[in-house]
């Protein structure tokens, strides 16, 4: 294999992970932690009578600062431009403790788990520092990431579960968002059609759709012929909810897929093409040459993806958050996929431990 500058420097003993080819995406992490302060410490915190001041207010400020400075504390942590940081300390009288929640969000090439944990640690240590004059026997416990979303791994919850008050506010993990949907896959390639090489884009696309729960009822390989493609789309439209083509979206003379979709006289949805190009352009500059588009024809969503395995994978990753919502709207159904990326609502806590993945007691 030909060595690159990236592979060369990855042989170094210590290095930051190379994220230069990743596309920026929305990222969020929520963390929690607890500090046991004892009866005397708890009373002073609640009554705001600690010698150094109101610890809960200072803990919020320290947590925000901790998130912003995470990259300075952790040697291989990337500097991050954060879009949102919020800290919520809550008193737990039954356990003589303070529970701290932190949420951190950004649009970037890497996640913000370390920033969320740095926020929790800064807030808890501030409480420790201000409380130790009245009770030096303090214990910090349960510091962990509760949930993270975005990036390659998508939505993730800690195996120990989510506190019930948080569970009601967090998005629910759905690993098969297209279940109950039907789709058809069409590959456009002269060489794949005449057997010069095996089509890999179509099977990859079919597998990705099926992984999301979609039933793929047709997987066809056609030559780059406009009339044949139009005939196939017209035959399938109305009988399936989604048609995705792969191939024929470039600028070569026989790349005819966009022309065919436009002459269907359906409703163009320009945002799909825009998101497909912009999501890949950071690591594949030639993505800007793609003419990927989407139209709605006879209540079937028809989307044109590039004709490569990488283009299919990148395209489906970009489309995944949009497809369930779009298909609901096309069918005039109330979308079941609410947008979570709104302002955080104040999360709370419960006294008991042992939460299930969605907040249920185990």
On the CB side of 166, CA atoms within 13 Å amount to 26
Verify whether residue 18 is a known catalytic residue: no
Catalytic-labelled residue, pool 129, 174, 328, 344: 129
DSSP string, 219-281: EEEE-S-HHHHHHHHHHHBTTBSEEEEES--SSSTT--HHHHHHTT--EE-HHHHHHHHHHHH
Neighbours of 188 (CB within 10 A): 31
Tokens read off for 203: 């099977």
User: Sheet containing 242-246: which strands, arranged edge to edge?
Assistant: 215-222, 182-188, 242-246, 300-305, 294-297, 267-268
Are 341 and 106 in contact by the 8 Å Cβ rule? The answer is no
| Distance between start and end Cα atoms, the chain | 50
Q: How many degrees, rounded to 5, is the angle at CA 338 between CA 335 and CA 340?
A: 165
Gap between the Cα atoms of 288 and 264, Å rounded? 24
Q: Could you tell me which of 108, 112, 130 has the C-alpha nearest to residue 120? A: 112
Q: How many degrees, rounded to 5, is the angle at CA 127 between CA 126 and CA 133?
A: 105
Q: Could you tell me which of 341, 355, 359, 347 has the C-alpha nearest to residue 87? A: 347
Q: Could you tell me which of 62, 71, 1 has the C-alpha nearest to residue 33? A: 62
**Max CA distance (Å), the chain:** 82
Q: Could you tell me which of 114, 90, 112 has the C-alpha nearest to residue 101? A: 90
Are 41 and 140 in contact by the 8 Å Cβ rule? The answer is no
User: Sheet containing 84-92: which strands, arranged edge to edge?
Assistant: 84-92, 97-108, 25-36, 139-149, 156-157
Residues known to be catalytic: 129
């Amino acid at each position: 294999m030909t060595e690159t500058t990236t592979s060369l420097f990855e042989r170094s003993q210590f290095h930051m992970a190379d994220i230069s080819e990743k596309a920026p995406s929305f990222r969020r992490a929520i963390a929690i932690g607890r500090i046991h302060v004892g009866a005397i410490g708890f009373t002073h915190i609640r009554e705001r009578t600690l010698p150094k001041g109101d610890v809960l207010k200072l803990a919020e400020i320290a947590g925000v600062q901790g998130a912003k400075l995470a990259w300075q504390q952790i040697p291989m942590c990337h500097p991050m431009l954060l879009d949102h940081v919020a800290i919520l300390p809550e008193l737990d009288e039954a356990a003589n403790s303070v529970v701290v929640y932190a949420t951190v969000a950004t649009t970037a090439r890497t996640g913000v788990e370390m920033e969320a944990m740095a926020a929790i640690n800064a807030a808890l240590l501030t409480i420790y520092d201000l409380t130790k004059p009245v009770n030096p026997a303090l214990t910090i416990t349960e510091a962990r990431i509760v949930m993270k979303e975005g990036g390659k791994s998508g939505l993730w919850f800690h195996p120990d579960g989510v506190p019930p008050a948080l569970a009601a506010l967090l998005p629910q993990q759905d690993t098969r968002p297209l279940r109950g949907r039907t789709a058809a896959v069409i590959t456009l390639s002269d060489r794949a059609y005449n057997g010069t090489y095996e089509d890999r884009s179509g099977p990859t696309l079919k597998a990705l759709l099926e992984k999301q729960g979609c039933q793929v009822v047709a997987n066809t390989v056609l030559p780059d012929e406009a009339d044949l493609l139009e005939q196939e789309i017209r035959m399938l439209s109305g009988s399936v909810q989604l048609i995705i083509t792969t191939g024929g979206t470039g600028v070569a003379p026989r790349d005819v897929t966009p022309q065919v979709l436009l002459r269907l006289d359906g409703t163009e949805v320009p945002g799909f093409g825009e998101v497909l190009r912009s999501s890949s352009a950071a690591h594949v500059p030639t993505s800007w040459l793609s003419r990927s588009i989407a139209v709605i024809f006879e209540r079937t969503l028809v989307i044109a993806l590039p004709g490569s395995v990488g283009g299919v994978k990148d395209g489906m990753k970009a489309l995944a958050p949009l497809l369930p919502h779009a298909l609901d709207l096309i069918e005039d159904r109330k979308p079941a996929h609410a947008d979570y990326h709104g302002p955080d609502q104040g999360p709370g806590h419960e006294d008991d431990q042992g939460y299930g993945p969605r907040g249920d007691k185990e």
